[in-house]
Amino acid sequence: MQTLAQLKSGELAGIKRLTLSENLTAFPVEILTLASSLEVLDLSNNRLTTLPAELAQLTQLKIIFASNNLFEALPEVLGLCVNLEMVGFKSNRIRQVAEHALPAQLRWLILTDNQIVTLPDSLGQRPRLQKLALAGNRLTHLPQTLAQSVNLELVRISANQLSHCPEQLLSLPKLAWFAFAGNPFSRSDDRVNQVPMIASSRYSLAQVLGQGASGVISQALWNSPQSEFPEAIAVKVFKGEVTSDGYPDDELQACLKVGNHPNLVRSLAQVNEPGHLALIMNLIPAHFTNLGLPPSLDSCTRDTFSLGFSLSIVQIDKMIAQMDAVFDHLHANQVCHGDLYAHNTLFDAQANIIFGDFGAASLYQMLTPAQQGQVKRIERRALAHFIEDLLGVCAEHDQGSGDYQRLRQRVVEIQGQALLG
């Protein structure tokens, strides 16, 4: 992160990335002096309400973040930025998105947690659009023009007011990660009670193990001896009312509905108290580690991996077989995971995997049989990408093997089946 003082002094001349968070109420005009170099501008966590028309002078600008500000409309000047690809205005007060506010080169749009009721038809007229995050708004419908978004791969529309399943999305040829829980069309009054309800006073949180968009996972200790549950447990305490993927309660319901499977984190109990929603789970053994890393700004929707990381074809084959079983189990229970990625997968030295993170999961038993089939085909594309990503880190000496070629052909077949329906 840089400072406004550094910017004004000229110390930042020629930089490509600028992050300013100083409770700003006005756009610092000195940013315009970086027009020939600036590619990424992050003005999140300020108090901005507008951007000047002169922003279009930043001709090298590719990415702008302005989350956690006070915007009530998406600035129309964004549509004039000739090279702008990624727009992130999460957690503002945006009600209006004008027809011309979306840049022509738009590839990634994040408008999560705003107050948007409608979106312009121009959204479906941005041919490069790959990633669309709209959870936590007030959308009652989506533009029909989204049927033209043939490159759209990831969509988050959870926690809105959509009364009908958006058919224009279901047939998109590349859509692979789809989250839609928490809308009237996907609402279910059936509560899943496969695990007991317990009081949060029965345990104490210990060290934090990890956290994501929807909550914080901690190791926990029982406050008194008991025989009902394993001694080693983890607790996920859900955050707030809405996350980047949707409502915490929808995630909890998906975790419970999917039930138990050897390659899923096992749910043991739930807590539902005022201000405290939590899921008690088996503690994952310490020898498991993350299989992948989340997508980068460059990869957009595809996973990344640590530099030099590789797997043998034997390991890959075993992992894929386990993920196949997870996929079948999820959809046998009519749960769309929505985030089937290597970065949501843990593995050990024996290539055993544990799959988790149900933040983007959606139940779909309320949809028509045809819609259910389309949802499953969408997720099957994510499975194909999972296989393809693992083959991308296959050890070089295994890339000519018969198993490698077999799995490569399987990716082609899955993608073909998804296109054919």
- Which residues are known binding-site members for ATP? 236
Q: Quick check: 97 and 116 in contact, CB under 8 A?
A: yes
| Separation CA 336–CA 323 (nearest Å) | 14
Please report, in range form, the residues annotated as the binding site.
Answer: 236
Whole-Å CA distances, 52 to 16, 57, 75, 80, 301 = 20, 10, 9, 11, 31
Both tokens of 161, joined, read 């007011």
Q: SS3 sequence, the chain? A: CCCHHHHHHCCCCCCCEEECCCCCCCCCHHHHHHCCCCCEEECCCCCCCCCCHHHHHCCCCCEEECCCCCCCECCHHHHHCCCCCEEECCCCCCCECCCCCCCCCCCEEECCCCCCCCCCHHHHHCCCCCEEECCCCCCCCCCHHHHHCCCCCEEECCCCCCCCCCHHHHCCCCCCEEECCCCHHHCCCCCCCCCCECCHHHEEEEEEEEECCCEEEEEEEECCCCCCCCCCEEEEEECCCCCCCCCHHHHHHHHHHHCCCCCECCEEEEEEECCEEEEEEECCCCCCEECCECCCCCCCCCCECCCCCCECHHHHHHHHHHHHHHHHHHHHCCEECCCCCHHHEEECCCCCEEECCCCCCEECCCCCHHHHHHHHHHHHHHHHHHHHHHHCCECHHHCCCHHHHHHHHHHHHHHHHHHHC
- The sign of the dihedral angle between the CA atoms of 308, 314, 320, 323 is negative
The tokens describing 238, both together, are: 């859900």
Query: Computed from CA positions of residues 282, 285, 291, 294, in that sequence, does the dihedral angle turn out positive or negative?
Result: positive
**Residue 235: half-sphere exposure toward Cβ, Cα within 13 Å:** 25
